A and B are shown apart, each in its own frame.
Chain A
Amino acid sequence: MARDPEALTRIGVRTRRRKAASGAAISLGVIALALVIVPSVWIIAQVASKALPHMSWSVITTPGVGLGGGLENEIVGTLLITFGVALLAGFIGVMSGIYLSQFAHGRAASVLRGASEVLAGIPSIVVGYVGYVSLVVAFHWGFSLGAGLITLSVMVVPYIAKTTEVSLRQVPTSYVEGAEALGLNPGQILRTISLRTALPGIVTGLIVALAISVGETAPLLYTAGYSQSLPHVALTHSPLGYLTYAVWTFYNEPSAKAVQLSFDAAFLLIVLVLALITASRIIVARASRHREVA
């Protein structure tokens, strides 16, 4: 270095350049984060400010009457549909993910994966239309809970299968090899090691899928129809209300009360989604307590 007096300057220039580059990267990160956070907060604030001033228990506890009344029928409908999707799509999606990650090889696997990706890419309104033509009309189910939740499930199963598969693939081989070397059978390894390790990822995928289906309108318009009375729990011939319907329809009604209900429904949807996300956080935290810190 003594022989090269410029070396220090060069190092100085490089350090400055590096600092500038990391400064730029951090700024871009902050901007990107702001682009995500600001709209979310703004939307929540808007909806809350329009809904909360006239919100009352009666909105939650009375079903709709004409353009007034409450949202009880829509709330119960959304919860029923979400619960049904959680069971049906959750079961099929997680099973498909397990199959894809553990047992599917070669051509069968790539055909399945391809099919799943195509399904994920079909617009929800098209899925809804197909549900209408097949379940509602051809099967004579009529507008119904069954047709609605099957159609929504078809939409989100690919997503759940994908997140399950990816989470299971990320289970470190050292865990699986350790379990194999101990003489655990494949089922035991799957249950006690792989699924347990992958659980946070699987649950997160499931909850995001539910949040997506909670917010869907188009497929339900085609399959679940609408009803202002409380839903009766039957899979066929049981049209029912749901919150997204109220958001969409009541907002366009020329009645102040209806517009209010529309914002109430939007607010309740947001609360429901936030509750789902909170639940997933709690489950993830509990499942991760024995995790390796990477």
Chain B
Amino acid sequence: MSDESVSQAAKPNEEYMQDLAPRPVESNSANSSDPSRTVIKVSDLTVGFGKTTIISGVNLMLTRGSIVALIGPTGSGKTTFLRSLNRMNDKVHGYFAGGSVLLGEQEVLTDRVDLLELRRRVGMLFQRPNPFPMSIRDNVLAGVKAHGLAKKSEHDQIVRETLERVGLWNAVSGRLHDSPFRLSGGQQQLLCLARSLAVQPEVLLLDEPTSALDPISVESVEKLLAELVSEITFIVVTHSLAQAKRISDHTMFFFDGHLKESGPTAQIFEDPRQPETQYYVSGRMG
């Protein structure tokens, strides 16, 4: 059932993916694609802490409205890469980044970027659900209020619409003023998703968003991503190869701090070019 809904909802962008299918994602030449469809462009990204370089030489281009899976062995730099895109590493001691990350026209790796607005546009969902210690309603509205996105009179409607979008409304409509910690783990993660969606992001970074969830919750999160992909670009770190296959249009394989290979998901899994990729997707590593 989940597979059906996923492929259904993913159809519109499958079509346009076919136009671009032969192009490797890491293509660095902007003229090879419609630049208006590019949401994130990473050029020669190098990231490290202190004296150690963790990731180097990453080039890629993400098209609007796609789900991209980030796979690779543990310690290969997936989380570090993801957190560089919304500058969540900034506070980490010794962090440095070189190269360029463009979000639309905006360079991310510069002091001049408005960090708060960047993080509104590039949201993040964590591995462990982390609702705030405030009511369910306030959780949904936390970002909306902080960014002043809506008038107070519109808050009720936003809460309802956002919770409906993540399929949580029926479950929580009667207890909007209750603590979120009495929700199940899966519901908490959906609430966190709602919190992120409420500030209308363009990109959502998800770091193993379903690894703490039971299969049914995994299914609802995956379904939701497929439904939302027309508006939002998702980058999903996952250790589940099956999940990467199920939900993503593109797959990027990280290995030892390098983007070893990337391309349409079908190609990465069925016809990988690099021996490491082959090894990894056949399940013999990681």
Interface members, chain A 176-216 (any B CB < 8 Å): 177-185, 188, 192-193, 196-197
Q: Chain B, 128-146, contact with A by CB distance < 8 Å: what is the 0/1 string?
A: 1011111100000011001
- Decide if B192 touches A178 in the complex (CB within 8 Å): yes
Chain B interface residue count: which class? 20 to 34
Given A175-B130, A178-B132: A184 and B179 within 8 A (CB)?
no
Q: Which residues of the other chain, B, contact A175 by a CB distance below 8 angstroms?
A: 130, 132-133
- Decide if A290 touches B146 in the complex (CB within 8 Å): no
What's the nearest-Cβ distance from chain A to residue B84, in Å?
13
- Decide if A184 touches B134 in the complex (CB within 8 Å): no
Does residue A291 face the partner (Cβ distance < 8 Å to B)?
yes
- Decide if B146 touches A182 in the complex (CB within 8 Å): yes
Given A196-B133, A292-B181: A181 and B142 within 8 A (CB)?
no
Does residue B78 face the partner (Cβ distance < 8 Å to A)?
no
- Decide if A290 touches B126 in the complex (CB within 8 Å): no
Q: Chain B, 97-141, contact with A by CB distance < 8 Å: what is the 0/1 string?
A: 000000000000000000111111001101010111111000000
Question: What is the CA–CA distance of A154 and B81 in the complex, to the nearest angstrom?
Answer: 49
Does residue B147 face the partner (Cβ distance < 8 Å to A)?
yes
State which of B131, B132, B134, B147 has its C-beta within 8 Å of the C-beta of A183: B147
Given A178-B132, A178-B192, A192-B134: A184 and B143 within 8 A (CB)?
yes
Q: Which residues of the other chain, A, contact B131 by a CB distance below 8 angstroms?
A: 178
What's the nearest-Cβ distance from chain B to residue A169, in Å?
15
What's the nearest-Cβ distance from chain B to residue A292, in Å?
5
Does residue A9 face the partner (Cβ distance < 8 Å to B)?
no
Q: Chain A, 268-294, contact with B by CB distance < 8 Å: what is the 0/1 string?
A: 000000000000000000000111110
What's the nearest-Cβ distance from chain A to residue B131, in Å?
8
Q: Which residues of the other chain, B, contact A181 by a CB distance below 8 angstroms?
A: 86, 88, 119, 123-124, 126, 196
Question: What is the CA–CA distance of A293 and B183 in the complex, to the nearest angstrom?
Answer: 12
What's the nearest-Cβ distance from chain A to residue B92, in Å?
11
What's the nearest-Cβ distance from chain B to residue A74, in Å?
42
Which of A188, A290, A291, A292 is most buried by chain B, counting CB atoms within 10 A of its CB? Answer: A290
Question: What is the CA–CA distance of A172 and B131 in the complex, to the nearest angstrom?
Answer: 11
Please report A residues at the B interface, Cβ cutoff 8 Å. Answer: 172, 174-175, 177-185, 188, 192-193, 196-197, 289-293
Contacts A181-B86, A181-B126 aside, 4 further interface pairs with beta carbons under 8 A come to: A175-B132, A180-B119, A183-B115, A192-B142
Q: 8 A–B contact pairs at CB < 8 A?
A: A177-B126, A182-B120, A182-B143, A188-B146, A192-B132, A192-B146, A197-B133, A289-B179
